[in-house]
């Protein structure tokens, strides 16, 4: 058993007990230990698993060896690539980068605030896009081995607070750097709630979003290079079909729906009673994005609307990725039965890793294949 597996199993057992701590202390413990655990886990030596061919997904010019991979938040600094491949992920996605490096959020002496809700299989974070910048991260990815049917993606964002012209320039330079580094696809992050002025309005399609999409489409050959656009779990359902139309008109490869939520009141009813004090503390003190099982229903709802649009228009070369609340094989089945092409997980992955360790994917595939 690896050190990361051992630590995760201990944490999985003790986390509900640790939940009796004061919310500030509970937040401090998990905020401080997450980066340390990630650095240990990224060094795991794992024998690569065999994935059933029946799980392959073909999208445009790419083949994904399975329909599930990590969400951008899992590998913030493009670490863990070999580990993700060996464990059996269907693809790899490096964490969101900006043109300028960012240290992320700090408040109350706590860097990169995070808190789990153990009994609700969910979490909150207020990280603020910590990253080393497009260019440095692309240079790291350029050193990666390339494995068959294991696409490498990079999540990118325009710099928060930067003027439009400079921000677009940096964003496009970043996309080109990732192309040159050998990334197979890009995910444009339009959904981060943890930086001021970044999150796209959830109840309207704003001009700045259209400007970004047009600038990229005018510069990058989207016919041959897939770019997927990620939106929040809070996106108004009435906007999904108009957004799909905008993306399809510009040849974007697809849409990712369900990433985090700031609708605290809406999701509070799904929070277990033993987690309520931590939920109320963190959402009031930090805000941040919600993730995990509490988003499952709303994520599937908006994904279903996007998929309905594709069916109505008989469109086959645009994909939908379901993110938010993916934790079990049933969650993947529900998404795929609704028509989703791929799924991403983050909070659910760590929930399962605490039980299955490095068999987190192989056990999942056994259930999907049965």
- Alpha-carbon distance of 321 to 57, in angstroms, equals 12
Please give the sequence-ordered ranges of beta strands (E in DSSP) within 140-267, or none if there are none. Answer: 152-156, 185-189, 227-232, 254-259
Share of the chain above pLDDT 90, in %: 87
- What whole-number distance in Å separates Cα of residue 353 and Cα of residue 9? 8
pLDDT score of 216 more than 90: yes
Contact 188, 235 (CB under 8 A): no
Per-residue pLDDT reduced to its tens digit, 45-78: 899 999 999 999 999 899 999 999 999 999 999 9
| CATH node for 3-369 | 3.20.20.70
Residue 212: which residues within 8 A CB-CB, separation 6 or more? 158, 168, 171, 188, 190
Q: What is the pLDDT of residue 57?
A: 95
Query: Helix, strand, coil: what percent of the chain each, to 5?
Result: 45, 20, 35
pTM for the model: 0.94
pLDDT at 201 over 60: no
Assign 191 a pLDDT band (cuts: 50, 70, 90). confident
* For residue 202, pLDDT beyond 70: no
Parse the chain into domains and list their residue ranges: 3-369
Q: Would you state the structure tokens that stand for residue 311, as one six-digit string?
A: 């069916």
pLDDT tens profile 23-32 = 999 999 999 9
Q: Is residue 347 within 8 Å of 259, Cβ to Cβ? A: no
Mean pLDDT across the chain: 94
Condensed to tens digits (0 to 9), the pLDDT of residues 328-352 reads: 999 999 999 988 999 999 999 999 9
Q: In which band, very low, low, confident or very high, does the pLDDT at 192 lie, cut at 50, 70 and 90?
A: confident
What pairs with residue 156 in β-bridges? 97, 188
Q: Among positive and negative, which fits the CA dihedral 257, 260, 262, 266? A: positive
């Amino acid at each position: 058993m690896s050190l990361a597996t051992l630590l995760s199993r201990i944490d999985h057992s003790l986390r509900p007990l640790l939940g009796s701590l004061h919310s500030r202390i509970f937040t401090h413990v998990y905020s401080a230990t997450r980066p340390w655990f990630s650095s240990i886990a990224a060094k795991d030596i794992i024998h690569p698993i065999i994935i059933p061919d029946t799980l392959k997904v073909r999208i445009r010019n790419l083949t994904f060896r399975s329909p599930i991979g990590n969400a951008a938040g899992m590998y913030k600094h493009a670490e863990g690539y070999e580990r993700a491949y060996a464990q059996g992920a269907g693809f790899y996605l490096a964490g969101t980068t900006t043109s300028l490096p960012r240290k992320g959020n700090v408040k109350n002496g706590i860097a990169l605030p995070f808190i789990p809700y153990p009994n609700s299989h969910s979490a909150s974070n207020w990280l603020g896009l910590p990253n080393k910048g497009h260019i440095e991260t692309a240079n790291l990815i350029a050193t990666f081995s390339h494995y068959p049917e294991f696409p490498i993606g990079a999540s990118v964002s325009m710099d928060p607070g930067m003027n439009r012209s400079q921000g677009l320039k940096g964003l496009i330079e970043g996309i080109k750097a990732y192309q040159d580094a050998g990334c197979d696809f890009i995910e444009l992050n339009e959904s981060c709630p943890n930086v001021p002025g970044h999150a796209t309005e959830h109840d309207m399609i704003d001009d700045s979003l259209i400007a970004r999409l047009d600038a990229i489409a005018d510069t990058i050959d989207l016919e041959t290079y897939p770019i997927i656009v990620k939106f929040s779990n809070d996106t108004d359902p009435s906007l999904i079909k108009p957004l799909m139309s905008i993306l399809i008109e510009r040849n974007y490869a697809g849409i990712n729906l369900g990433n985090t939520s700031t609708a605290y009141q809406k999701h509070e009813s799904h929070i277990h009673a033993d987690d309520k004090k931590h939920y109320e503390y963190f959402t009031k003190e930090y805000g941040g994005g919600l993730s995990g099982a509490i988003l499952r229903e709303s994520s599937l709802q908006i994904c279903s609307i996007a998929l309905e649009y594709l069916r109505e228009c008989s469109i086959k070369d645009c994909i939908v990725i379901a993110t938010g609340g993916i934790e079990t094989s049933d969650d993947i089945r529900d998404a795929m039965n609704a028509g989703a092409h791929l799924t991403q997980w983050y909070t659910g992955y760590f929930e399962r890793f605490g039980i299955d360790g490095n068999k987190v994917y192989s056990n999942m595939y056994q259930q999907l294949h049965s």
